[in-house]
Amino acid sequence: MIRILNVYYPTRTIMLLVCEALIVSGCFFAATIIVQGSDAFITLNYEYGAAKVLFLTVITLLCSYYFDLYEPQMLLDRREIIFRVLLVVGVVCLLLSAVVYFFPSVGMERYIFPLGFTLLTGALLAWRKAYEWILSKKMFRECVYIMGGGEYAFSVMQTIEARSDLGMEVCGWEGISQDREERKRMASAALAKLTTQKPGIHRIIVAMEDRRAEMPTQELLALRFRGVVIEEAGAFLERMSGKIQLDGLRPSTFLFSEGFRIKPSQQLSRRIASFIVAAIGLLLFLPFFPLVYIAMKLTAPGPLFFKQTRVGYAGRHFTVVKFRSMRTDAEAMGAKWATQDDPRVTSFGRFMRKTRIDEIPQLWNVLRGDMSLVGPRPERPEFVPWLTEQLPFYDLRHIIRPGLTGWAQVRFKYGATLADSREKLEYDLYYVKHMTLGLDLLIMFETIKTIVRRRGAQ
């Protein structure tokens, strides 16, 4: 795993991205050399040809990212990959055509771009086929033993089996046993066998629910000194999923683990950045306010803005401002979460929710200091006491300012149940633990993708 901006990515995924960057640039460099021959050097070095190829490479990778070609669930769906690769090439062609039409100087010698895209299509499809072959070969996988016999260990095994991009294969685990002594005996016997096993084990994930009474320390030390990686299941799942599992989470986790350091200097820099971006955002959207007002008046009578009390920093209440997307009598029967295809949402309100236009007035809350650009989404005071009672460590969401967008919003769907709130809390805790300005920038970048793909809204 490679850590970038406090988020862990599989090494194979980074390799996939880097190789595709080389393929894209290589195809257009090759097209330039084929078309121009010895004059290619002049085009690439003195006519900004190399910069244009770099621009095409970045656009192609961004389109691949926005079409989910680097998502784990996409890596083994051959038909979907072929379709999306062709879609990416087509979209880049259209974008390039539009740019060249308005800015002719961006273009290159005739036939370079058509030949480059032809080479690129074949090269990307061939590379994806080769990458699929790499993922399928056992010789390129890391052999993993899961030490544990309960549901916790089973969840680790399911995570590994569902993520072919991790390059891991479960070579053994103890199965589910209810008897503690039996689990300890099985673990000791298995570890003793692993010391002489050929080929050897590469990694052991400790997923024992009661490690103090069951963990065979001496056997683990022997394997550790032989170069085997020993890893705790909680840390492994945190890296894989980008969230902190509530199951088995204890106060000692916050005391002794890295992260969860809320520095005043860091908070000040985030506050300044949020203020500047919010001010610019409001100024840019100001000409569109009348259009939103007219559209709302034509589709549903009532006020332009919707105000609602939310719980923010240190548990303090504040009034959040949004464009009204529901009927004026939406909560005549009391407060409740929005649901899929909620009948209370107006026709234009549904469009605003999908495009997040209804959230824009919250930039005023960011200016006031009630909210930040990035952070846990603020919850309503009607639900907070109940969620605090049902979910451990829920109050930790309130040690920082709530956000207009957040890690849970770009990684999880809209929450409308207790189970959804639990999973969103796991993402929020990950953000609080690893909070940096770099992670904030990553979340804002992924928020754009969420808006463009119209995901996560109700």
Per-domain residue ranges for the chain?
A: 2-136, 141-241, 264-452
Distance CA 377, CA 431 (A): 12
- Indicate the DSSP class of residue 182: H
* pLDDT given for residue 55 in this prediction: 92
* pLDDT given for residue 272 in this prediction: 92
The string of pLDDT tens digits covering residues 233-291 is: 888 888 888 888 887 777 877 777 777 888 888 888 889 999 999 999 999 999 998 89
The string of pLDDT tens digits covering residues 304-352 is: 888 889 999 999 999 999 988 887 666 656 666 666 666 778 888 888 8
On the 0-12 / 13-18 / 19+ scale of CB atoms within 10 A, 371 is buried
Which of 9, 46, 5, 49 shows the shortest CA–CA distance to 25?
Answer: 49
* pLDDT given for residue 56 in this prediction: 93
Average pLDDT of 41-59? 88
CATH of 141-241, picked from 3.40.50.2300, 3.40.50.300, 3.30.70.20, 3.40.50.720, is 3.40.50.2300
- What type of residue is 250? R
- Indicate the DSSP class of residue 359: G
- 141 Cβ partners below 8 Å, 6+ apart? 167, 168, 169
CA pseudo-torsion sign 126, 127, 132, 134: positive
On the 0-12 / 13-18 / 19+ scale of CB atoms within 10 A, 94 is exposed
The CA-based diameter of the chain, rounded to the nearest angstrom, is 76
**Structure tokens given for 322:** 């949004």
Tokens 């909620």 identify what position?
342
Which of 440, 452, 406 shows the shortest CA–CA distance to 426?
Answer: 406
